[in-house]
């Protein structure tokens, strides 16, 4: 019998993946009603997987994402929870268990940003940023990694930001939250590797989503001009990397912060 901290041979890891074909696995994506999260949901759905779409308030947008996923033949469930609340997360988990949907892949995508001088950031804004970007990821991961440990297989993918690597002026709070997420990723990867679970972070540069709506066209053009690729990423490009990290054959990639940023940061 293999204990919780025992190391698995490659043959055993492959066997665990083969016992449940990739297309029959379940992926849970937080903050998946729109933007990068929705693109990730659609990418996994394209191969017919079981897809769980989490949202907080954007009910109709989440349903629209679910409908687009179901067109590919995927089994889809939408769930809502405030990720700062352990009680709500556990209720969501119970709902998934009732539907027989225990995530093999957890994508911690939910997050918020804040633009402004640190001197203008209120304590409430700071707490909200840390609560959603960090505490939510901690609570979700702690709750959903347990079944992965029991089955000796799993994928945890955290959606971070380029600013968590380099930091950004006027985004100190956001950079701090994403920097913390990167450290969380690296440390947890070492803790869970013996159980056949990988933990990685995808840290995009500028992506063409609603998160960029606070910038006017001139500001967006100036940002794009600073990027060697000359443009923002599309959500689908980030989703492709997340999908790759979720594959069984990506099992030797863990503890990595991978930044698709068009050459903006090298």
pLDDT in tens, 55-88: 999 999 999 999 999 999 999 999 999 999 999 9
54 contact partners, CB below 8 Å, separation of at least 6:
28, 29, 30, 31, 32, 78, 79, 80, 81, 83, 92, 110
Mean pLDDT, range 157-171, rounded to an integer: 94
pLDDT value at residue 8:
52
Facing residues of 207 across strands?
Answer: 233
Given this model, what pLDDT does residue 4 score?
A: 40
- The percentage of residues in the chain with a pLDDT greater than 90, rounded to a whole number, is 83
Residues that are catalytic: 174
């Amino acid at each position: 019998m293999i204990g919780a901290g025992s190391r698995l041979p490659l043959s055993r890891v492959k066997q665990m993946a083969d016992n449940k074909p990739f297309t029959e696995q379940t992926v849970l994506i937080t903050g998946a009603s729109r933007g990068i999260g929705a693109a990730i949901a659609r990418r996994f759905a394209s191969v017919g997987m079981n897809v769980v779409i989490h949202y907080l308030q954007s009910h109709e947008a989440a349903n629209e994402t679910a409908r687009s996923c179901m067109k590919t033949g995927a089994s889809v469930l939408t769930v809502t929870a405030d990720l700062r609340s352990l009680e709500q997360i556990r209720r969501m988990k119970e709902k998934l268990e009732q539907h027989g949907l225990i995530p093999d892949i957890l994508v911690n995508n939910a997050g918020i940003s804040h633009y402004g001088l640190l001197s203008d950031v209120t304590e409430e804004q700071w707490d909200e940023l840390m609560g959603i970007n960090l505490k939510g990821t901690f609570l979700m991961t702690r709750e959903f990694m347990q079944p992965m440990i029991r089955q000796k297989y799993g994928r945890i993918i955290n959606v971070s930001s380029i600013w968590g690597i380099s930091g950004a002026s006027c985004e100190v709070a956001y950079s701090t939250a994403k920097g913390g997420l990167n450290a969380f990723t690296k440390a947890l990867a070492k803790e869970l590797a013996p159980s056949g679970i990988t933990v990685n972070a995808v840290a995009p540069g500028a992506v063409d989503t609603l998160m960029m709506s606070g910038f006017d066209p001139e500001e967006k053009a100036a940002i794009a001009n600073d990027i060697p690729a000359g443009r923002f990423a599309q959500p689908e490009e980030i989703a492709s990397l997340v999908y790759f990290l979720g594959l069984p054959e990506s099992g030797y990639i863990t503890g990595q912060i991978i930044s698709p940023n068009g050459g903006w940061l090298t």
